[in-house]
Structure 1
Amino acid sequence: MKSRQERIGDFTAPEVAEHLVAMALAHAKRVQARPEGRPLLVLERPVEGEWFTQWGDPLSDLPRGRRLLQAFTAKAAKTGLTKDKIDAWCNAASLYVLPWRAAAYDTLTALAHRLGLLPVAAEAVVLALRSAVARRADANAETTLSGAAGLSRTNIAGIATEVAQPIDRASLEEALATGLCEPVDFDRPLQAAGFHEGVNVRPGHITAGLPAPRPVLTGRVADAIQRGQSVLVTGPSGIGKSAVRWTAAYVTRHVLWYRIRRLQADDAVPLVRLARALQPSTRSPVGFVVDGIGIGAAEAWDIPYRELAPIPGVLLLGSVRSEHLLPLRSRVDCTQIEVTLDEEVAEQIHAGLSATGTTAAAHWREAYDAANGLTLEFTHLLTCGRRLSDVLSEQVERRVAEGRQTEIEILARISIAHQWGADLSVRALQQQLSLGDTDLRTALSRLADEHLVHERRGLLSGLHRLRSAHLADAVHAIPPPILDETVLAVMRMLADSQLQPFIAGVLTEHPALDPVVLDQIVVELGRRPSVKATTGVLQALRLVDVNRTAADWLRTLDRHRIPPALRRTSLQFALVDGDLLPQLKPEIAAAITEIRAADTSGSPLRDALVERLGKVAICLLLS
């Protein structure tokens, strides 16, 4: 069997001829063992556009002038095979093209039908069968042909029945039916127009071969997965974390991957039930992918890590911006792999884009120097020849000039929401802007056609957070709209569960909005007095206070020029009482003294909210 990624294209006749010659030579050595059956070469991709779909048809049935036969005959003769042996091999051997997607789908469908299972439940049976095949392949590597082990129909039926009987179907349905998570689909390529203009990378993009390869980083993530470790891919927005994460998941498809789409504290139980119902093992692991862990959504990683990581055979793979690492309590227990754009990676990306004809740039250096270290900006410059922010600004300015105010209002709200981890309900947006169905549909269609917004299941978002940040800057560059007014408009539309990440994101990047946001929080908690909204808001304010304190400490350490290797120790000394050690370097002692003098107790933002609401009101909201 020979596999081949779709992005590489079809097999060539000379390549297949090489495989056939290798098989013929190996078969000649095994004749004495009298192997049963006939030799068969299974290919994942067609041969120069030709699909061999007739099982068992010998090579000798091909027309004599066929390029594949000519290539095989020539290569076989060079190895010393006689004409009689070549003819005998052509009469015995056959080709069959079986794409991975078709094999996976047909296997899953057949098992689900035969055993009366949902497709997701049949996945566990597929994993068990694959594990059985892998064990026999490992054993066969150390034995003779006559002693090789295989799987009979009886073996297959026994394994399938054994695995299917104890499957908890209710647990499987619970997590999937509520939209908590979904199986990762690597089977269907996703050809996205304008991919390099800035979109969130999805599994189908990897299958289609759209992202430029980053083999070193992907290999490090895949190696950690193979070791059974939980992995966090880190780096700034737009650096390419999603591409690395999904590519690593793609190359480790022996893992049954699920994508967690949303997660709150009360979602942990169905997630654990799903994981256990799939019967994971080290040979048939189950993995969960967590995308875009934001500053206000640390539980989206900490909860699955706490509940799932202890289960044997369960893996976790997530991505988080570097500046949002601090609130993750479990970060020290995970393998952290940082994504960066250096000259070597830039050259690799340029070579990959050049090979597919995606860029006409003769060299990568100019784009690299202008990209500010961001992969998204770098690839946009290579493929489009212009900065992403310039293109988006022109799209906004054209709408202003043409008086398309509805689209400007929609863009303002969606870009601000998506920039800080939230999406907006289509109906909530429609109600707030007082738009009819026709007007809203027209506006959203035009925005979607230019890759400015994305709709999924009635929710609106941007295509990438960095792209949304550029759009938000462009829309608010010349008022109206005004930034604080848009922030308040978005807060009025958010679900309770989205208040935490949004408020944390806004206040982290815009401290000047503290009074405006705090006042609106009072309004929102009065309008929707729920425990979920209140605890989410309090947690967001605590996280912002922690981040601001950490930023102050970093500035102090920078100001006193404390080397990175000594910073953790310096902070540890600063956070404990006691006299300074006399042997400390003067700059370290000065930094410690300054940090101690700063008032880091309490939570200023939470205190300010309590002052606005009153302690009695807070207690009532939490009761």
Structure 2
Amino acid sequence: MEFPGLTRQLLIDPELWSATRSGARAGRGFRYQDAVAAWLASVAWSGEATWTRLIPEGVDDLTLHGPELEFRAQLKARHDPQGVFSQAETAKHLAKSAKDLPHDWLESNRVRLALVLERPLEGIQPTGWIVTLAESDQDLTKFGRFLAEALGQPENGVVEALLARTHLVIEPNPLDRGCAALTSASLSPAGVRLVLQQLREQAGKASDSNYSASSEKPETLDRSDVQTRIDGVQGIIDPIGYVALTDGLAEIANFSEPMPAGAFYQGVNVAPGHVGAGLVFARPELMADILTGLEAKRFTLVAGPSGAGKSALAWLSAHHTRHAVRWYRIRELQVSDVAKLVQLAKLLEASPERPVGFVVDDVGRQETAGWDALVREVEAQAGLLTIGTVREEDIFLLSSAARTPTIRPKLDESLAYGIWKALQASSPVAFSHWQEPFELSNGLLLEYTHLLTAGERLEETIREQVRRRLAEDRGDELMILRTISFAAAQGAAIDPVRLRMLSGMDEPRFAKLFQRLVDEHAVRAKPDGALTGLHESKRLPNSRCVSQTDTH
């Protein structure tokens, strides 16, 4: 039997085919750029590079940023394996980058240029990332003439200065080089390859986003992004081993995780994704205080009353340093858990050059009783950092408090005005001026933002939610909410199975009521399934308001 559809040849005009290859060539060039970005991000993760974060399609095809140097790189692909780049065309690429150098570049050696080519450059050998063209002891006379012509006959000394700041890298297989940079990632070769493919895809998305991104918030790739991909692949390939490693205690801080914004200002626990989404307002002076504490002692505390913005400030500081530090979110921390975190840090090869950080929320509670033990390990391990948040009344429980740099955030007039102005620009606010809600907030950030967005104090909002449930004859929900709120106000949580049994409800009915409370941001389930309140600032008001329903 014949299958004509399988053997029929496509009839395409060969001349037309040849004349329409520009799109394919351009697409291949973009894929090469993304692959190079994935490779160089992996090198940053390994600690072998002078850069710690990358910006695809920044001020050049790719910019590499480090503490002391910035590389601006032109990335050029060529399909033909036997092909070469001519000196004339390459000089034009270099001249394009040179025209965007800062005005004081001749006096400063902070900015370097790089040519990353898929194929060799005619007559010139690659230099790598350490040695510049001028330092490579090659005859660059011809290339210098082409460069001067491309620059439009520059002033004396400009060509020589550019060659003294330019690196030439030839890399036909950037993904293979990326795999080599990730050999210490404790993944199989297939897993490492998958990480590189994911990083290449992320680089492409970052390039697209940077078309419209502002210079203050460009899309980047950094060490934390690479670690996120490694942990994700590890969890897919070896889920049992990954769970055994982290044991539900730690997860990489995912600042790119999509987070619902609707109820953020009504009192939810701040997560890394809220900061990445721009929902948390910057507090640069306090962030600087935290970073100073980390530099001095490698551990610090953010202390204050409920609703002061402690968690937000901790995650803002972690986000600010994510390009250099691989931050992990610690869900709970017992003394026996500290050894597991130390083992995790060792497997991640934590060092002063490639540090690992832990953010521990709500220190001083039963769920985080291991903080003092963690501080002792951080003092003993040079590559570890940690930030903790603690309520003011719980500090006295910590034996390490006296030697811990402690930052106390408080809402000030400048921040209050900035928040009011930003919220007013994006959506209607309940006050025509920032001063009145600022005075009503008692210096609490959460109370202030809730006043602006809801027009009333947080406790009044909770009271109205209780009244609505009474009016709608939702007494079963109030019973559940009363029990959970009372426990949460004491820092405890409720076993859902025992609560359902005591309530006398069947499973479907209980599940439906509980889900409604979750959807309305009244309660939440912890990772172990226990039920508790949302943000700590809502626990006491919730408990007071719900308990008053006994008198109605």
TM-score by length of 1: 0.51
Q: Deviations over 1:569-612 (max 9, x none)?
A: xxxxxxxxxxxxxxxxxxxxxxxxxxxxxxxxxxxxxxxxxxxx
Q: Is the counterpart of residue 432 in structure 1 residue 502 in structure 2?
A: yes
What does 1:328-367 correspond to in 2, within 5 Å? 328-357=398-427, 359=429, 361-367=431-437
TM-superposed CA distance for 1:272, in Å, is 2.2
Question: 2:495 is aligned with what amino acid?
Answer: S
Q: Distance in 2 between matches of 1:361 and 1:82?
A: 58
Q: For residue 194 of structure 1, what is the aligned residue in structure 2?
A: 263
* Deviations 1:238-289, CA, capped at 9 Å, x for gaps: 1110100111111111211122212223223222222222221111101111
Q: Is the 8 A contact 1:229 1:335 kept in 2?
A: no
Change (3 A) 1:437 1:303: same
Alignment of 1:463-502 (within 5 A): 463-479=534-550
Aligned residue in 2 for 1:563:
none
Q: CA RMSD in A?
A: 4.2
What SS does the aligned partner of 1:283 have?
coil
Residues 37/323 of structure 1: CA separation in 2 closer, same or farther (3 Å cut): closer
Q: Is the 8 A contact 2:310 2:409 kept in 1?
A: yes
Q: Which of 267, 274, 277 is the equivalent residue of 1:208? A: 277
CA distance in 1, matches of 2:245, 2:447: 37
User: What residue identity is the alignment partner of 1:314?
Assistant: L
| Structure with the higher helix share, 1 or 2 | 1
**Offset at residue 347 of structure 1 (A):** 2.0
Identity, in percent, stands at 35
Q: Partner of 1:520 in structure 2?
A: none
Partner SS for 2:399? coil
Q: Residue in 2 aligned with 1:24?
A: 99
User: 1:481-510: per-residue Cα shift (whole Å, max 9, x none)?
Assistant: 9xxxxxxxxxxxxxxxxxxxxxxxxxxxxx
Q: Distance in 2 between matches of 1:459 and 1:320?
A: 21
* Residue 257 (1) aligns with residue 331 (2): no
Match 1:299 to one of 360, 369, 377? 369
- Distance in structure 2 (CA, Å) of the matches to 1:118 and 1:311: 28
Task: Tell me how many residue pairs correspond in the alignment.
Answer: 363
For the residues of structure 1 that align with 2:425 and 2:300, how far apart are their CA atoms? 31
Distance 1:415 1:108 in 2: 47
Match of 1:379 in 2: 449
- Structure 1 residue 447 and structure 2 residue 523: aligned? no
Partners of 2:184 and 2:351 in 1: CA distance:
23
Counterpart of 1:24, as a letter, is K
- One-letter amino acid of the counterpart of residue 530, structure 2: L
SS in 1 for 2:387: strand
Alignment of 1:232-311 (within 5 A): 232-253=301-322, 254-294=324-364, 296=366, 299-311=369-381
Q: 1:480 to 1:223 in 2, by over 3 A?
A: same
Instruction: Report the 3-state secondary structure (helix = DSSP H, G, I; strand = E; otherwise coil) of the residue aligned with 2:270.
Output: coil
| 2:9 counterpart residue number | none
- CA 1:420–1:246: 2 relative to 1, 3 Å: farther
Q: Secondary structure at the match of 2:370?
A: helix
Structure 2: give runs of 5+ residues left out of the alignment: 1-36, 42-56, 64-71, 73-94, 119-149, 154-177, 200-229
C-alpha deviation, 1:303, in angstroms: 1.9
Output the TM-score relative to the length of structure 2. Answer: 0.58
The Cα shift of 1:370 comes to 0.9
Superimposed CA distance per residue, residues 137-166 of structure 1 (whole angstroms, 9 cap, x where no aligned partner)? xxxxxxxxxxxxxxxxxxxxxxx9xxx9xx
Q: Which moved more, 1:451-460 or 1:21-30?
A: 21-30
Inter-partner Cα distance in structure 1 for 2:514 and 2:484? 11
SS in 2 for 1:315: strand
Opposite residue 422 of structure 2, the aligned amino acid is G
Distance in 2 between the 1:247 and 1:173 partners?
A: 27
Of residues 202, 223, 233 in structure 1, which corresponds to 2:292? 223
1:365: Cα distance to partner? 0.3
Higher fraction of strand: 2
Structure number with higher relative contact order (C-alpha < 8 Å, ≥ 6 residues apart): 2
- Are the equivalent residues in 1 in contact too, given 2:338–2:370 (CA < 8 A)? no
Q: Hey, what's the Cα distance between the residues in 1 that align with 2:115 and 2:485?
A: 64
Q: Deviations over 1:455-477 (max 9, x none)?
A: 35433222201112211110012
One-letter code of the match for 2:513?
A
Mapping of residues 65-80 of structure 1, within 5 Å: none
Change (3 A) 1:175 1:302: farther
1:241 touches 1:319 (CA, 8 Å); kept in 2? yes
Q: Does the 8 Å contact 2:298/2:378 carry over to 1? A: no
Q: In structure 2, do the counterparts of structure 1 residues 21 and 460 end up closer, same or farther at CA, with 3 Å as the change threshold?
A: farther
**CA offset at residue 436 of structure 1?**
1.1
SS of 1:291's equivalent in the other structure is strand
Letter in 2 for 1:443: L
| Residues 406-444 of structure 1, C-alpha deviations (whole Å, 9 max, x = no match) | 101111122122233333232222122121122112212
Answer yes or no: is the 8 Å Cα contact 1:200–1:464 preserved in 2: yes
Cα distance, 1:357 vs. partner? 3.5
- What secondary structure does 2:302 align onto? strand
TM-fit CA distance, 1:312: 0.9
